[in-house]
Amino acid sequence: MIVVPVELPGRPYDVVIGAGTRHELAPVVTGLAGVEHAALVTQGSVADAGWLAGLDPGVPFEVDLIEPGEGAKSFATVEELCRRFARRGMSRADVVVAVGGGVVSDVAGFAAATYHRGVRYVNVATTLLAQVDAAVGGKTGVNLPEGKNLLGALWQPEAVLCDTETLRTLDEREWRCGRGEMAKYAFLGEGPPDASLLELEVADQVARCVGIKAAVVAMDEAETGRRMVLNYGHTLAHALEAGAFGRPGDLAHGEAVAIGLLFAALLARRLGRIDDARVDLHREVVVGFGLDPRLPAGSDPEALVVAMGRDKKARHDLTFVLDGPRGVEPVHGVAVGDVVATLAEMETVR
C-alpha cells in the first residue's frame, strides 16, 4: 500500500493506493467524529463489476445509484441525490462515499459540498482516470449545456482510496482515458517527458501522478496560479467534450486531453515558446501513452473558440496552459487568430 499525503494547510488528507484499498473504507469513515450514516453514491457498472460486494463503510449506509455516462454530471443529478439525503434525514455529521470514476466523484463531491452547506466525503476511486486525477484535489462539479465543469465547488475529501484491484474490470477505452491524463503528468514532473511511467507497476504509476498533483494542489488549492498547470491540454479538451455531451461513443475526457496536449504544443510553437523538437516530443509522448492526437473529423473551429472562451481559466479572453522556456504555465490573452490557425494546423496532423 502506498500513501501519498495531500498536505493542505490545516486539513491534510491521504491518498491510499494499492490492491484492496477499498477495504480501508471502514477505518476511514469510523475515524470521522460523529458519523452515524453513510450515503454510498455509485453507478450500476461498479455494482455489476462486483466492487460493492463486501464494501463496508463501518456505519449503516444506503446505496445511491446515478445514471451512467457524462450526461449524469448534471445539476439534476445533484438535486436528486440531495433530495434523497434529505428524505433519509441525513445530517451534517454524516458522510458521502463516492465509489466510481470521475463522474461519480465530481457529482457526489458536489452534492457533499452543497448538502447542508457541506458534509464530509470520501472517494473510493475505481478508474485509472479518477485515481490519477479526478478523485484527488477537491474539484467537484457538474456540466452545463454551455460547457464542461462550469458549476462546482472546491471541496476536499477526507481521504481517497485508489484500489488498483478495481482497474481489472476496466475496458481498453477506460484505460486509454486514464492514460490521457497520465500523458499530461509527463510534462509536469521532473526529468524529460516520456512514456516510461507505463513501465512501472500500476500502483506506482498512480502514485507518481498523485504525488505530482498533491504537490501542486497543496501549493495552490484555489487555482489562483500554479494549479492551472493541471489543466494542461484541457482547454481544447473541454471544448471538444462540450460538443460531445449526450452523444455516447463520442470523445471521452482522456482522449480529448491527448488531442489538447498536441494542440497546446502547436500553439506554443506558433507563439515562439517552444521549437519543433519539443512539438515532436509531445506527439511521441501522446502516442507512447497509446492515444490518438488527431482532431476529430467535423470539428467546428468557430464553436471550439467560443467554448474555449468560456473556460474557467479565461479572464474574458483566451487563456491556455502552454509549454515554454520556464516549463508549463498559464498564458493569458492569446489571440483568436493564433488559435484558429493552430486548429487549422491540427487538421493536417496525420
Catalytic residue among 234, 269, 282, 313: 234
Is residue 165 among the annotated active site residues? no
Is residue 223 among the annotated active site residues? yes
Is residue 278 among the annotated active site residues? no
- For the bound state, the minimum distance from the C-beta of residue 139 to ligand GLY, rounded and expressed in Å, comes to 4
* Residue number of the CB atom closest to ligand GLY: 230
**Considering only 131-139, 155-163, 312-320, 341-349, which stretch makes contact with ligand GLY by CB under 6 A?**
131-139
Is residue 226 among the annotated active site residues? no
Catalytic residue among 73, 120, 139, 184: 139
- Minimum CB distance to ligand GLY smaller for 64 or for 205: 205
- Asked if 137 touches ligand GLY (CB under 6 A), the answer is yes
Residue from 22, 73, 120, 139 touching ligand GLY (CB under 6 A): that is: 139
Residue from 186, 230, 285, 304 touching ligand GLY (CB under 6 A): that is: 230
Residue from 24, 133, 174, 323 touching ligand GLY (CB under 6 A): that is: 133
Catalytic residue among 148, 238, 269, 313: 238
**Considering only 105-113, 119-127, 152-160, 223-231, which stretch makes contact with ligand GLY by CB under 6 A?**
223-231
- Asked if 227 touches ligand GLY (CB under 6 A), the answer is yes
- Contact present, 104 and 81 (Cβ < 8 Å): no
**Considering only 10-18, 121-129, 133-141, 297-305, which stretch makes contact with ligand GLY by CB under 6 A?**
133-141
- Cα four-point dihedral sign 248, 340, 317, 155: positive
Catalytic residue among 181, 221, 241, 255: 181
- Minimum CB distance to ligand GLY smaller for 9 or for 272: 9
Task: Record the cell numbers describing residue 176, joined without a space.
Answer: 486509454
CA distance 256 to 238: 7
- Minimum CB distance to ligand GLY smaller for 40 or for 251: 251
- For the bound state, the minimum distance from the C-beta of residue 217 to ligand GLY, rounded and expressed in Å, comes to 7
Q: Which residue type does 2 have?
A: I
φ, ψ for residue 94 (rounded to 5)? -80, 180
Is residue 148 among the annotated active site residues? no
- For the bound state, the minimum distance from the C-beta of residue 239 to ligand GLY, rounded and expressed in Å, comes to 16
Residues in contact with ligand GLY by CB under 6 A are 133, 137, 139, 227, 230-231
Q: What positions carry a catalytic annotation?
A: 117, 139, 181, 213, 223, 227, 231, 234, 238, 253
